[in-house]
């Protein structure tokens, strides 16, 4: 099965990349050109595809480094769209905003989509696909956007750029409410996180396969890829049982997942390259901070130590 035969995209090793280091975060201090260059030189021998989440200054630096240093990366460029509707189902209470904020978000989102298109045309040899949002339709999101509005963003990107266009979302909404969006995107992008759903490592690969094939089976005429799949290495118990996460389990999941997707030619972005301390709560063992294949100081975890020796 060649997921991308019709789109002329060759599957290869892929990684979600966000380079924010200690003391850096989106909307604040960003990684410098040299810091991004250091990261990409660390990654470029082992991964072909990178996924960037937003049309922000950090992503712009990444694109410049790839171009200037002539690095052999292909990028899925995203535009992170913020809440355009309140979501009272958000379990941590983060999905409620004033009407003024929602209106401003709509304006800002449109600017991001315009920038996404601009960059797609500016970097056609680097950016291979476009994503008009990330986890904005799932029931627990704190940045809810209606399917109808996401559909408008997809059409806008498709009409103004040559790259194929997608929307990155948890696998569940694709199964019951994103049918029109599935028809319009050039390919479907899903996220699968067995450990967030309280699965043990022994159940992990089978569960990810089930997630993938449930969506692929629902839309047999559409290419489906995985834009996020990963395994945390620490947890304070918030949403993830601490007994289910460590470096050894991450290594097992990484190796099993890569073996399966390579055999099936499923383009899969592992989440993620580096730990990011700005994510989640202020607690050091907050699981959101511990998904990297590398620690935040850029030393490798168990999953990739042997890979980096090659």
Predicted local confidence at residue 138, as pLDDT: 98
Q: How far apart are CA 237 and CA 6, in angstroms?
A: 43
- Topology at the third CATH level for domain 5-79+166-309: TIM Barrel (3.20.20)
Residue 188 DSSP SS3: strand
Instruction: Report the predicted TM-score, pTM, of the whole model to 2 decimal places.
Output: 0.97
Pairing of strands 74-78, 224-229: unpaired
Peptide bond into 272 cis (omega under 30): yes
Q: What is the predicted pLDDT for the residue at 306? A: 87
Give pLDDT tens digits for 226-259.
999 999 999 999 899 999 999 999 999 999 999 9
% of the chain with per-residue pLDDT over 70: 97
Q: Which residues contact 227 (CB under 8 A, 6 or more apart)?
A: 16, 51, 76, 131, 166, 168, 189, 190, 191, 269
Question: pLDDT tens digit string along 127-147?
Answer: 999 999 999 999 999 999 999
Per-residue pLDDT band at 4 (split at 50, 70, 90) = low
Distance CA 96, CA 2 (A): 41
CB 21 within 8 A of CB 296: yes
Mean pLDDT, all residues of the chain: 96
72 near 126, Cβ under 8 Å? no
Helical H runs in 69-129? Answer: 99-122
- Stronger pLDDT, 92 or 76, i.e. the higher one: 76
- When pLDDT is averaged across residues 77-88 and rounded to a whole number, the result is 98
What CA–CA distance (Å, rounded) separates 163 from 76? 10
């Amino acid at each position: 099965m060649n997921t991308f035969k019709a789109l002329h995209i060759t599957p290869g090793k892929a990684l979600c990349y966000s380079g924010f280091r200690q003391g850096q975060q989106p909307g604040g201090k960003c990684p410098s050109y040299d810091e991004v260059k250091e990261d990409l030189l660390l990654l470029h021998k082992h991964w072909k595809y990178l996924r960037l989440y937003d049309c922000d200054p950090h992503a712009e630096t990444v694109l410049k480094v790839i171009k200037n240093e002539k690095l052999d990366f292909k990028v899925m460029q995203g535009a992170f769209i913020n809440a355009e509707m309140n979501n009272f189902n958000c379990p941590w209470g983060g999905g409620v905003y004033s009407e003024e904020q929602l209106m401003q978000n709509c304006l800002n989102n449109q600017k991001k989509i315009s920038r996404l298109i601009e960059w797609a045309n500016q970097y056609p040899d680097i950016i291979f696909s476009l994503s008009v949002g990330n986890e904005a339709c799932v029931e627990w999101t704190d940045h809810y956007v209606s399917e109808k509005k996401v559909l408008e963003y997809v059409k806008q990107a498709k009409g103004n750029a040559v790259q194929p266009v997608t929307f990155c979302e948890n696998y569940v909404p694709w199964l019951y409410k994103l049918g029109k969006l599935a028809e319009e995107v050039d390919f479907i992008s899903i996220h699968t996180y067995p450990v967030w759903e309280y699965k043990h490592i022994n159940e992990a690969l089978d569960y990810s396969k089930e997630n993938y094939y449930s969506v692929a089976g629902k839309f047999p005429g559409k290419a489906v890829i995985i834009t996020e799949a990963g395994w945390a290495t620490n947890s304070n118990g918030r949403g993830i049982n601490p007994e289910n996460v460590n470096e050894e389990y991450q290594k097992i999941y990484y190796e099993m997942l890569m073996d399966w997707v390579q055999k099936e030619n499923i383009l899969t972005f592992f989440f993620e390259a580096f730990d990011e301390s700005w994510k989640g709560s202020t607690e050091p063992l907050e699981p959101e901070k511990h998904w990297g294949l590398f620690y935040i100081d850029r030393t490798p975890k168990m999953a990739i130590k042997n890979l980096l020796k090659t």
